Amino acid sequence: MSVVTIEQRGPVSVIAINRPEKLNAINKAVAIELQLAFAAFDASEQRVAILTGTGGKAFSAGADVTDLPELWRCVPTVGIKTEKPIIAAVSGWCIGGGLVMAMMCDLLVAADNARFSYPEGKVGITGGMIAGLAARIPHKVAMEMMLLGEPIDAERAYAVGLANRVVPAGGEVDEAVAMAAKIVDLAPLALAAMKRFVNDGVLPKGPAELAAIYGSQLGAVRDSEDAKEGVAAFRERRRPRYRGR
């Protein structure tokens, strides 16, 4: 069974974390498969993606501590690179790294049973990308979530601007698809420009987010064909033949 499922609803792709028995916790396989799924979405003719979790009990319980992932891989704007709109459809628990993923989406639909929580202070760890929450909702509310580690419900998430819609549990994906249906009637290049201007010019990025972005870019150079060619040329004492790949 795949840990990530993809359903096409016309021009809308529903991409779901599929580990309901683990509350959709993100392990290494989930992080990699989500990144690949969104890369395929970005390269396709699909217009909007919906990110969700299966089972109804959790969007995601965050990083799986028994199989820690490179979480940056599955975070929109960091490891997930696309200028197409992404809508989070959240039901049940949205915790830790799951909250980071959801807050980085462009729009968010919350089921009325959704609970948003960042309890990392209770266990003594943090990936740091949660700092971006303070750029997306009022500062004091973001700090309350981080410093107290207490969850907020769907209605409060809507009130502070974390969620765009609150719907009865089980209807979050359908509502996200309905929102996406309005988006597909709009001009893709204009939408991409607006999203790019917001993400690159308006929303500040915290140190962990920047480190993840630069780290992924450096990793792409390190793993490139040119890097392999450079090492081979050095060993063979010849002039390298770089191809920009």
pLDDT digits (tens, 9 = 90+) for 151-207: 999 999 999 999 999 999 999 999 999 999 999 999 999 999 999 999 998 988 988
Residue 19, classed as helix, strand or coil, is: coil
Tokens found for residue 19: 């580990």
CA 142 to CA 5: how far, in whole Å?
31
Tell me the torsion sign for CA atoms 16, 18, 20, 24. Answer: negative
Strands (E), the chain: 4-9, 12-17, 48-53, 58-60, 86-90, 93-95, 107-111, 115-117, 152-153, 165-167
CB 44 within 8 A of CB 81: no
Beta carbons of 173 and 52 less than 8 angstroms apart: yes
Residue 55 phi/psi, 5-degree rounding, is 100, -25
Instruction: Quickly state the pLDDT bin for 213 (edges 50, 70, 90).
Output: confident
220 pLDDT higher than 90: no
- Count of residues for the chain? 245
H/E element, 107: strand 107-111
75: phi then psi, degrees, rounded to nearest 5: -100, 120
Record: fold of 4-184: 2-enoyl-CoA Hydratase; Chain A, domain 1 (3.90.226)
d(CA 120, CA 205): 20
> What pLDDT, in 10s, does the model give residues 64-102?
999 999 999 999 999 999 999 999 999 999 999 999 999
**pLDDT of 12 higher than 80:** yes
Count of alpha carbons within 13 Å of 150, Cβ hemisphere only? 4
Lowest mean pLDDT among 53-67, 108-122, 210-224: 210-224
Give the type of residue at 228.
K
Instruction: Please give the model's pTM, rounded to 2 decimal places.
Output: 0.92
Query: In this model, does residue 143 exceed pLDDT 80?
Result: yes
Angle at 59 between CA 203 and CA 22, to 5 degrees: 130
**CB-side neighbour CA atoms (13 Å) of 228:** 6
Residue type, 32: I
Q: How confident is the model at residue 123 (pLDDT cuts 50, 70, 90)?
A: confident
Residue type, 62: G
Residue 125 or residue 72, greater confidence: 72
